[in-house]
Structure 1
């Protein structure tokens, strides 16, 4: 795999680190209360055992609180009902996995509901309800299958990700693209534009493929992140050229058939139409109600098989794909990829483009749909039709949401709120155990909220030392602040120093961060004085929250004198929006 030698070294280091971290995780699990199942604050490093296969169960069987999961389910079901004029989406199927156990599975709403683009409902006896095994056009989630296919060729020695694409597809190396690498296509840093209307502007599949391969970049390769279908269409052609098989045949031979994904593939057969969710009523091109054919116009114009779209699948099949990734490339006794390949696949290569973290084909750490499961290693993808797959190695969890949100029209809105809600429901079902004592103060996550936890007035002759433990899993705009006041009206932030995995470096007036999933030890100093009041303030912005914020083990001292011990006298603290919780 010549051009991938730096990656080999990286993977070797990752595997060694994963082995060491796994040993720590095993040690954690051997201690009382240290079992990793059901825990958000015991992040797992490395992969799940390769023998892990999905099995039915309940949240309680793996230490989860079913409440947040049920609340997420209820919210998603509510979005299938008119509010006020039409539902957010016609129907949905969800599936949640934790440590190999399918802890939740729902089907709500309708797979077929509307007769036209205006949203005229079909008679009740002609509508088709969602069911757990409904088959969906997963749209851009297809890109994950193409990416895995490329990595299969890497392992076969036919592709090196750091070699130019033109080494494999000579016709690609025109118009400033000679140096674009396979890695840049996989990470969307090639400079190619997002989309061109192949179905409209070129007459047939050969001319459409030629248009993609000859397209000039719109920004210098490697200079920007631009999500582009053209990247994955090109990779689909590369798979076909180097394997000697069509993309759908290669995906079937190397991924879906070995994994037993009986409902996953391109151009589903007519006998499965009754189980397929309808998508859009299209007028341009004039296709009418699209059901059983790929929704994406460009993929449709390429015969339903393309690197960027075209795959149909079920929630159960996508969960198997996710567990294969969690297992390090194996599932059910079949190895699709080697562990070192999967480690590389889940490495962020877009550090130069903050917020656009990307592995080899897999998106990483995208809170807008990964919600509380977000983290540096959290991987997945979304699809335009209303689909998402979230794979969280740190908690060994999977969240699948499949909707037909473009039925009957793409204009009815986004399902990002549902994507985030489902993933966050699973994260909130996991426990974060108090650092000291039976409970800790929790500020529940929520949009545009403020919660305060206030001490009584304290008097210190010397500078006050404030110490506490904090669990902070938030986006950078949702913060925990320690403040002081002498009149209860004007509050001044207190600079603090936090120590622990992922903690901010140096002193700071705001604590925020995610992905570390660990408690921090925090301390700060407050000038001496009479009637000094302290408070911990948690503030969130209008969108997106993580697992939340907790404060524990509060101690305020004046030299050798203890002014307040939150463990011994929690009743003196005044919570507004905070509440004591055991998990």
Structure 2
């Protein structure tokens, strides 16, 4: 009798362990690996011919000096290719491991995962007043009752932007010594560039000007980047951990996204870092290794609106985790419920396409032409992502199991270069991967 019980126990235990092993292998199957497009039912020749054609034209028309495109389908990277050079002198070819200034893509790769995790933990109520978590707004009649949901969905009526660079520059273009020094000291330790240090208390001036900014009485979709300058401090206060440390420990390091971070000049990456703009106003030279966005620079290079740098493959890991609704490689980073809520259109009745911080397709996107659509006509309503001013773009489409990463420095040599928009390059390339399905 005892032997039979022991045998039964051993068989049951073995079966349980086998199930656990198979489950763990299934979970790990969402790790990104490389494969040919044909392995996931896509036309490889069509993809390469079409994307090469679009990118060659874009470089010829000076939409950007160079770029790279990465696409993953069904957890397999089926396309990763570099085009052109870092600058128009054609000296440094774009490499697949190059690091780019992500600009506003930072918004969904930096503060967003931290805010989602806080929501998961019951520490952030989407329908509570934003002033609950940023008490500085509690005494502002026009801001104290704005909900977190309204703010995250760009539905709160906040103004789009404040140019804080005007506060540190004189009318003749020189920098105010009150706020800027060329050597660090105990009051000027916040580094904006190689030889530019911002007064540490300047952040308080930024917070104050945001607090005093106007709020529209009309509640409709109006993109605003203001609160993204507040999120690093807000996240640090709510977690008890430094903002960048929190992101690295909870997301970037466990994902294996080793190039994701702020202030790459200080990180000693072996990767080449692609330059952005020839800045004649603030930095007086080619902006490289430091954030392009001036507001993020005045925050010391660590912000919620911009400041992150990364390689295409590390960005793909983050977007794959989002597309899997919070899990990657057998590890759950965020609850499925939270990711679904944040990637859902919040105010469709107000003609607002936005999710919570995530961007979404136009509400009637499938009916539009390539020229009028955003991002690409075939992107599903469930898809989401974000674009960046420097020429970056990331998008995840759970319906088609497609992750799309586009990295460029279209602001070189100047931000006035806008052919990336004129020719709708990023959407045109993205659409190719929907057209290439042969199944």
Query: How would you bin the TM-score normalised by the shorter chain?
Result: 0.7 to 0.9
Structure 1 segment 31-110 matched on structure 2, within 5 A: 51-79=29-57, 81-83=59-61, 87-110=62-85
Q: Does 1 or 2 have the higher relative contact order (CA < 8 Å, sep 6+)?
A: 2
- In the other structure, the counterpart of 1:426 is 433
Over the aligned positions, Cα root-mean-square deviation in angstroms equals 2.0
Residue ranges of structure 2 left out of the alignment (5+ in a row)? 1-25, 169-178, 180-198, 366-372
Contact 1:388 1:400 in 2 (8 A): yes
- In the other structure, the counterpart of 1:164 is 129
Q: Within the alignment, does 1:396 sit opposite 2:393 as a pair?
A: no
Contact 2:70 2:406 in 1 (8 A): yes
Distance 1:370-1:72 versus aligned 2 partners, 3 A rule: farther
Structure 1 segment 242-253 matched on structure 2, within 5 A: 242-253=238-249
- In the other structure, the counterpart of 1:133 is 97
> 1 CA distance for matches of 2:59 and 2:354?
35
- In the other structure, the counterpart of 1:143 is 107
Contact 1:171 1:213 in 2 (8 A): no
TM-score by length of 1: 0.60
SS in 1 for 2:79: strand
> 2 CA distance for matches of 1:328 and 1:152?
13
> 2 CA distance for matches of 1:58 and 1:82?
28
> 2 CA distance for matches of 1:180 and 1:98?
39
Distance 1:206-1:234 versus aligned 2 partners, 3 A rule: closer
Structure 1 segment 20-35 matched on structure 2, within 5 A: none
Q: Within the alignment, does 1:155 sit opposite 2:120 as a pair?
A: yes
> 1 CA distance for matches of 2:141 and 2:46?
52
Q: How many matched pairs?
A: 369
Higher CA-based Rg: 1
> 2 CA distance for matches of 1:49 and 1:344?
22
Work out which of the residue numbers 289, 292, 296 in structure 1 matches 2:293.
296
Work out which of the residue numbers 154, 160, 176 in structure 2 matches 1:188.
154
Contact 1:188 1:231 in 2 (8 A): no
Mean Cα displacement is larger for which, 315-324 or 365-374? Answer: 365-374
Structure 1 segment 502-581 matched on structure 2, within 5 A: none
Work out which of the residue numbers 195, 201, 208 in structure 2 matches 1:211.
208
> 1 CA distance for matches of 2:49 and 2:375?
17
Q: Within the alignment, does 1:378 sit opposite 2:344 as a pair?
A: no
Query: Deviations 1:44-86 (Å, cap 9, x if unpaired)?
Result: xxxx967411110011011111244213421343145434xxx
SS in 1 for 2:85: strand
Structure 1 segment 131-530 matched on structure 2, within 5 A: 131-145=95-109, 146-173=111-138, 174-201=140-167, 203=179, 204=199, 205-220=202-217, 223-270=219-266, 271-272=268-269, 275-354=272-351, 356-366=352-362, 368-416=373-421, 417-431=424-438
SS in 2 for 1:349: coil
Contact 1:175 1:214 in 2 (8 A): no
Contact 1:212 1:234 in 2 (8 A): no
Contact 2:58 2:420 in 1 (8 A): no
Contact 2:159 2:226 in 1 (8 A): yes
Distance 1:289-1:230 versus aligned 2 partners, 3 A rule: same
Distance 1:430-1:371 versus aligned 2 partners, 3 A rule: same
TM-score by length of 2: 0.79
Structure showing the higher strand proportion among its residues = 1
